[in-house]
A and B are shown apart, each in its own frame.
Chain A
Amino acid sequence: MNRYIIRRLFQMVITLWVIATLTFLMMKAIPGDPFSGEKKLPEQVLKNLMSYYHLDEPIPVQYLIYMKSLLQLDLGPSIKYETRTVNTIISESFPVSAQLGTQALILAVVTGLLLGVVAALRHNRLIDYGAMFFAVLGISVPSFVLAPLMQKYLAVEWELFPVATWEGWEYSILPSIALAAFPLATITRLMRSSMVEVLTQDYIRTARSKGLPPYLVVFRHTIRNSILPIVTIIGPLTVGILTGSFVIEKIFSIPGIGKYFVESISNRDYPLIMGVTLFYSSLLIFVNFLVDLAYGLIDPRIQLFKKGGN
């Protein structure tokens, strides 16, 4: 078990290094620099700035400098927000995004599984058709359409929720729902079809032949086996929620990390672009690692690591 985890951690570090290098190179390939957009700066000031951020060094040297600070977990100073480092920007804005993302993920998984199970058990009945109708809507309506619609009706016209910004828990409800819609619909559909399939399996017939009542057959034998495909797509769905939060944070004016990411690119704020990209990448890589571990726990046939002895 330990050896498996160590091997995976090592792979994760390598992956991150590759991502860091590629991002660094691509960033350098984009024309322009952080100071070209604004009004002309005096020659000397520009020069000082360039040297402060090591932008006057040759690219390989810049790369080495950056890698060195990365090893110290230092993402460097932001160029746009002169008084703050990338580390502080992330640590200040990430909790907001994390709350939003986690709420959306929990909402999507719990509701999605529930709807999927109910739809499968009422296969081809009214509830099933209803759930599938909403699932198709959820999958086909993009969040940047759904979010303004919800703002217009649920917030402005019926005044059930605040329209935007982030000043308390009730402010997080609409953005969480908007962010959860797609993964929720995806999970509902997948859970339904997976469960309908599992219900026709021979071992379900065996469970029934033991005299178990339907609720036990469903809870003990059906759900766990149906959930395997869901676990596999949790990784990609989390990615979707992370990237989807860029849009949602913008629409609801939420001071999360997504806002900084979008702005950092138009500002050419090199350290911030790198920092946020690496931060997101580590998050994704870590989520995928967790998903793999969960998979091994749920399905005993998948052996991630040898048990001791035997």
Chain B
Amino acid sequence: MESLLKVSGLQVSFEMAAGEVQAVRGVSFHLNKGETLAIVGESGSGKSVTALSLVRLIPSPPGKVKSGEIIYQGKDLLKLPERELFKIRGSEIGMIFQDPISSLNPTMTVGKQIIEGIRWHQKIGVTAAKEKAVQMLTLVGIPNPEKRIAQYPHEFSGGMRQRVMIAMALACSPKMLIADEPTTALDVTIQAQIMRLMKELQKKTGTAILLITHDLGVVAETADRVAVMYGGSLVETGLVSEIFYQARHPYTWGLLASMPRMDWSKQRELQPIPGSPPDLFDPPPGCPFADRCPYAMNACHEEMPPETDVSPTHRVACWLEHPEAPSVDREKAGYKTVHVPS
């Protein structure tokens, strides 16, 4: 598999009056051509900040990329002059966001919003761009595109607006699509439609997708690989099957246990992970999950665990991987065994 994007050691902070929020603390991952990589993790773990940093869209100030490399087709996006970045955003890397209601300009017709991106990147005439926009709207399943193109966002439903966003993001055939919780703001039935649409379009266009989501069900259905994020770091990365069936990080176990499953008997209850995520103003020196981890050892509190490759595709950052660590019965690992700290 050929890699399209390679991120290493990405660190992003927000400099606030109260201090520095270390939102992303040394994240490394890659995205292959045409695949779907899902980033999962609880609220505030730094998923959106990671995604926005890839194309330097974090609000700045206060946001700032402290260090790291983002290599896209041989170029480091963090070192590129702004002007070069304008050519990559939208044309090489498209984005869709969580809230389709606020993500479209309310005073501009959706047609104009799609067309302006096409014209900026492809330098073609209005008529040709308009045709392309109609094509895109048809592609994302919006009926009556010739008429809809002249309408304003408030004349569309939430699901339809997200389709417009997808049409807009894919209009210039980007090689990569960043989708930050594209379905969270939508009704459940619409969520499934939108995910199916994205999957279909990916088959047609071969676009790689970086999918950020809370929904492990969506991950199981659409992703090829999964990256689990916690407290600004990636704790585990692997193929979907590796994460769902051979997870090695206690946080991943917790995440899986907190998700309902079809094969569970009725008595089994959802297990929320006790405790709360680390303070990003003053993160602990060790593993960010140590305070909530039932298997935490001394080392976990003192030093960041190194990343260990469990298989060529499966990587985990946990002290339990250390040869001298006590072995944990991974089969039984579940949150029934956790003592809830009172």
CA distance A200 to B58 in the complex (A): 11
Point out the residues of chain B lying under 8 angstroms from A200, CB to CB.
Answer: 59
In Å, the complex CA distance between A221 and B57 comes to: 16
- Docked CA distance A221–B109 (Å): 12
Q: Which of B70-78, B116-124, B206-214, B223-231 contacts A (4 or more CB under 8 A)?
A: B116-124
In angstroms, Cα B108 to Cα A150, docked, is 44
Q: Would A210 and B106 count as touching, CB distance under 8 A?
A: no
Check A208–B57 contact: CB distance below 8 A: yes
> A200, A213, A300: which has the most chain B beta carbons within 10 Å?
A300
CA distance A101 to B168 in the complex (A): 46
Given A209-B57, A209-B89, do A221 and B106 touch, yes or no (CB 8 Å)? no
Q: Which of A202-216 contact B (CB under 8 A)?
A: 202-203, 205-213, 216
Chain B residues, CB < 8 A from A203: 102-106
Residue A28 lies at the interface, judged by CB distance under 8 Å to chain B: no
Tell me whether A300 and B107 are in contact (CB under 8 A).
yes
Say which residue of B52, B106, B168 sits within 8 Å of A225 (CB atoms): B106
The reply to whether A220 and B103 form a contact with Cβ atoms under 8 Å apart is no
Cβ-defined contact, A221 with B108, below 8 A: yes
Q: Is the CB of B103 within 8 A of A212?
A: no
Chain B residue at minimum C-beta to C-beta distance from A301? B154
In the assembly, what is the distance between CA of A25 and CA of B117, in Å?
62
Residue from B52, B83, B102, B120 in contact with A210 in the complex, judged by beta carbons closer than 8 Å: B120
Interface centre among A203, A205, A299 (most CB of B within 10 A): A203
| Cβ–Cβ contact A209 & B107, under 8 A | no
Known: A209-B90, A210-B168, A300-B152. A221 touches B117 (CB 8 A): no
Complex alpha-carbon distance, A207 and B152, angstroms = 16
Name the residue in A210, A212, A225, A298 with the highest tally of chain B Cβ atoms < 10 Å from its Cβ: A210
Give the dominant DSSP class at A's interface.
helix
| Contact B86–A221 (Cβ < 8 Å) | no
Q: How far is the CA of A225 from the CA of B113 in the complex (A)?
A: 14
**In chain A between 194 and 252, which residues have their CB closer than 8 angstroms to a CB of chain B?**
200-203, 205-213, 216, 220-221, 224-225
Q: Which of B57, B94, B104, B107 has the most CB of A within 10 A?
A: B107
Query: Which residues of chain A have C-beta atoms less than 8 A from B107's C-beta?
Result: 224-225, 298-300
Contact with A along B320-341 (1 / 0, CB 8 A): 0000000000000000000000
B91 contacts which chain A residues (CB < 8 A)?
211
Q: Which chain B positions have C-beta within 8 A of A299? A: 106-107
Choose from A201, A207, A211, A225 the contact partner of B87 (Cβ within 8 Å). Answer: A211
Instruction: For residue B41, give the distance in angstroms from its CB to the closest CB of chain A.
Output: 21
The reply to whether the CB of B146 lies closer than 8 angstroms to some CB of chain A is no
In the complex, how many angstroms separate the beta carbon of A36 from the nearest chain B beta carbon? 59
A residues within 8 A CB of B116?
A: 210, 212, 216, 220
Give CA–CA (A203, B107) in the complex, Å.
11
Please judge, given known A-B contacts A212-B116, A300-B152, A301-B152, whether A202 and B86 are in contact too, CB under 8 Å: no
Quick one: CB contact mask for B39-60 with A, threshold 8 Å, 1 for yes?
A: 0000000000000100101010
| B88, CB-defined interface residue at 8 Å | yes
Report the count of interface residues on A (CB-CB < 8 A).
22
B24 within 8 Å of A by Cβ?
no
Find chain A residues with CB under 8 A from B255 CB: none
Interface string of A278-302 (1 = CB under 8 A from B): 0000000000000000000011110
Contact A213 B108, beta carbon cutoff 8 Å: no
Residues of B within 8 A of A212 (CB): 86, 90, 116-117, 120
Q: How long is the Cα–Cα vector from A174 to B164 in the complex, in angstroms?
A: 52
A206 to B168, CA, bound (A): 10
Q: Judge whether B89 and A206 touch: CB under 8 Å.
A: no
* Chain B window 218-261, contacts with chain A (Cβ cutoff 8 Å), 1 for yes, 0 for no: 00000000000000000000000000000000000000000000
Name the residue of chain B whose CB is nearest to the CB of A228: B107
CB of B145, distance to nearest CB on chain A (Å): 16
The complex places the Cα of A212 from the Cα of B105 at a distance, in Å, of 14
Interface residues of B in 140-156 (CB under 8 A from A): 152, 154
Contact of B95 with A by CB under 8 A: yes
Answer whether residue B15 sits at the interface, using C-beta atoms and an 8 A cutoff. no
The one of B52, B83, B102, B105 that contacts A207, using a Cβ cutoff of 8 Å: B105
Q: Which residues of B contact A301 (CB under 8 A)?
A: 106, 152, 154
A173 to B165, CA, bound (A): 50
CB neighbours of A220 from chain B (8 A): 108, 116
Residues of A within 8 A of B319 (CB): none
Roughly how many angstroms separate A205 CA and B154 CA in the complex, as a whole number?
Answer: 18
Instruction: Tell whether, in the assembled complex, residue B103 and residue A206 are in contact, meaning their CB atoms are under 8 Å apart.
Output: yes
Knowing that A210-B89, A211-B90, A299-B107 touch, tell me 6 more A-B residue pairs with CB under 8 angstroms.
A206-B103, A206-B105, A210-B116, A220-B108, A225-B107, A300-B154
- Sample (6) of A-B pairs whose CB atoms are under 8 Å apart: A206-B104, A209-B55, A209-B90, A210-B89, A210-B90, A221-B105
- Which 8 A-B pairs give the minimum distances between C-beta atoms? A211-B90, A211-B89, A210-B117, A210-B90, A202-B102, A209-B95, A300-B152, A203-B105
User: Residues on A close to B: CB < 8 A?
Assistant: 200-203, 205-213, 216, 220-221, 224-225, 298-301
